[in-house]
Structure 1
Amino acid sequence: MKLNELETVVNLLNKDMKIIQRVDHFAFSLDSLLVSEFASITKYTNKIVDLGTGNGVIPLFLSKKTKAQITGIEIQEISSDLAKRNVQLNNLEDQISIINDDMKNWRKYFRNNSVDMVISNPPFFKFDGNEKQLNDLTQLTLARHEISITLEEIIQTASNLLKDKGHFALVHRVDRFMDIIENMKKYDIEPKKIQFCHTKINKEGKILLVEGIKYGKPGLRILPPLIAHDDDGQYSAEVLEMFK
C-alpha cells in the first residue's frame, strides 16, 4: 500500500493489526481503546455504529471482540479515506464499512431504531465562539471541538439509531459529566454503567466512560476507577491487559 510523506504505518498495540496515521490528523489515543474495551458487546450485538470514527481505530479494536457488522461515520474526507484504507490493510472489508458524511445525515444509511450499539469518542470541547480555542489545522479543530456537531446532537443521533434496549457507549471528559447524563436522560438512554479514568492513582479523574441503554430500567453501576499509569509513569497492569 503506497503512503504519502505525511503517513506512517504502526502496529496497533498488540492486536495483530496495523494502522495508517497522518502527522497532520488526529492520531488514535488510549481513549479509543478504553471505550472499545468498556462497551458491553454480547452475542446479540449484530450491528454497531461508530459516530466520528476518525481513522477507524474503534472499529478495528471492536473487530477483535465481535463478529458484528460495524459502520464508522466520519465527516472529514481524509480521515474517512484513512479509515477505509485501514480496514483494507487489516482485511476487514467483510465486517467494517466506512461512510464519509456528516453523522447528522444518518437517515441516508440507516433506519430508525435499527442498531444494537452506538459508540463514540467525540470532540471533547465546547466552542464558545472564541477562535483562540482553535487549532490552526481545520481537521484537528473538528476532531477536538464541537463545531460540526454538539454533544447533545451526538446523543440524540445515537438514540434515533438504537433499537429498544440498544447500548450507547461514550468516552468523554469528566467536566462534561452532567451534560452527558442530562442529555442521555432527555433522549431516553438510561445511564447504566460509569467508570472514571485517572492518569495516576493520586490524580483527579480526567476521562469518563459511560454506557446507557435505550429505554433501560433505572439502575446505575459505578465501576472501580481505572488507573492508566503506575507511579513510575508506565502503563498500569489493567491497561496493559487491554493491549493484548
Structure 2
Amino acid sequence: MKSAKPLPANPNRQVETPEGIILSMPLADPIARACAFAIDFLVRISLLILISLPLAGLGQTGTGIWFICLFVLWWGYYVITEMLMDGSSPGKKAMHLRVVNEDFTSINFSTSLIRNLLRVADAFPGFYGMAILTVLFSPGNKRLGDIAAKTVVVSTRPKKYREIALQAPALIPNMTFTQTEQRNIIEFARFCELGSTDRAKEIASHLAKPLNEENSDQLVVLLRRYAKWFLEGSG
C-alpha cells in the first residue's frame, strides 16, 4: 500500500496521501514556539506556587508531596496536556500551534512521551540551546524530540471560511459516495482546520468534481458539511 510521503522543501510542510491528495500545513515558526514555551513555563510555575501554599504547613510530608508534584509538572505536563488538548498545550493553544505526526495524523501517548522525554537533551548545552539550534536549522523546524518521534509542530490559526464551515450543520449528500470517497472527505474536513486555504481549495476541487460547484469557498463548506454527516448523521 502506498504510504504518505513528504514532498520537496516548501515554506509549508506538504504530504501526498495514498490517494494522491496533497495536504499542506504551515509549520510553526520559531518565535511562536518560543512564546508557547514561555507561556507553558509560566503556567507550570504558577501551578507549583498554588500547590505550595496548602503544603507549606505540612512539614516533611508537604515537602515530599511538593517534589512529587514538581516531577509530574515538569515531566508529565506536556504529555498530559497534549493528550487532553489533541496535540496542544495551554501555551501552544494560545499561539495556535499543534503537534501532529509527519503525515498530519494526531499524535498518540507513546509519540508524545518520546518527544517530551527528549526535552532533557534539548536543554543542553544551555537554556534549551540544542532545541533552538535544531528548530532553526533542521528540516521541518524540528527539535530532537520531534525528530525521534517523527512529529512536526504546525500552525492552526483559523481562517474565516473554516470558521463558517465549522458552524455549518451536517448536510445529507444528494449523491452516493463510496467508502473511500467518504474517508477522503472526512480527512479533508479534519485537515481544513490546519491546512492552508489555497491548498484546501485545490483539494476540494479534486474531491468534488461530480458536484458541479465552481465556487471553491462553497466547495470547502459543502464538503465539510458532508463530512459531518458521514461522521455523525449516517450512523
Q: TM-score, normalised by structure 1?
A: 0.23
| Larger Cα-atom Rg | 2
**Higher strand proportion (structure 1 or 2):** 1
**Higher helix proportion (structure 1 or 2):** 2
Q: TM-score, normalised by structure 2?
A: 0.24
